[in-house]
Amino acid sequence: MIRASNKGKGVHRVKQFMENLLENRSTNEAFDFYVTCESCGEEYGNTVVRFSKAGMFPVTQSEKILWNALYEQEMRIARQTAVRNAAEQMNYCPICKRVVCNQCFVICDELDMCKHCAASLQQDGMPVLSDVVGTTV
């Protein structure tokens, strides 16, 4: 039997880790933040958002100031979105202290942990994602 989805579990705690793990690949034209699963290396939360003034150039000094502020604001929003997206797909393993994706995480009886730790501690775990049950990841 598959246990009910643990959606929302520990998301706030995970978010803090996301902030620290978030990598920035942004350019002057677009914002690009992502988090890498420390187990499989897959990228999560990645949504490239184009800067609203991309491809245009400020002419006057006041335009420059305005655009800089706009850039910072849009970057902050893109960052938050990436953190939110990533947090839904990432989990914190209390054993090895890594942040891993749903594919690499299992729900165990005592303590939820990553697949790697579950294997080494001989814990039987259910995959987080019910739709990947039975498939090899």
Contact footprint for Zn ion (CB under 5 A): 37, 39-40, 93, 95-96, 101, 103-104, 114, 117
CB of 18 to Zn ion, least distance (A): 14
Cα dihedral 131, 136, 35, 8, rounded to 10, equals 30
- Is the CB of residue 86 less than 8 Å from the CB of residue 23? no
d(CA 15, CA 9): 11
Q: How far is the CB of 1 from Zn ion (least distance, A)?
A: 24
Distance CA 104, CA 116 (A): 8
Integer angstrom CA distances of residue 65 from 49, 70, 120: 21, 9, 55
Nearer to Zn ion, 49 or 87 (CB): 87
- Our CB check for Zn ion shows the closer of 75 and 95 to be 95
To Zn ion, the closest distance from the beta carbon of 69 in angstroms equals 37
Nearest to Zn ion of 26, 91 (CB atom): 91
- For Zn ion, the closer CB: 14 or 101: 101
Beta-carbon count within 10 A of 18 CB: 26
CB of 45 to Zn ion, least distance (A): 13
The number of angstroms, rounded, from the C-alpha of 80 to the middle of its chain's C-alpha atoms is: 10
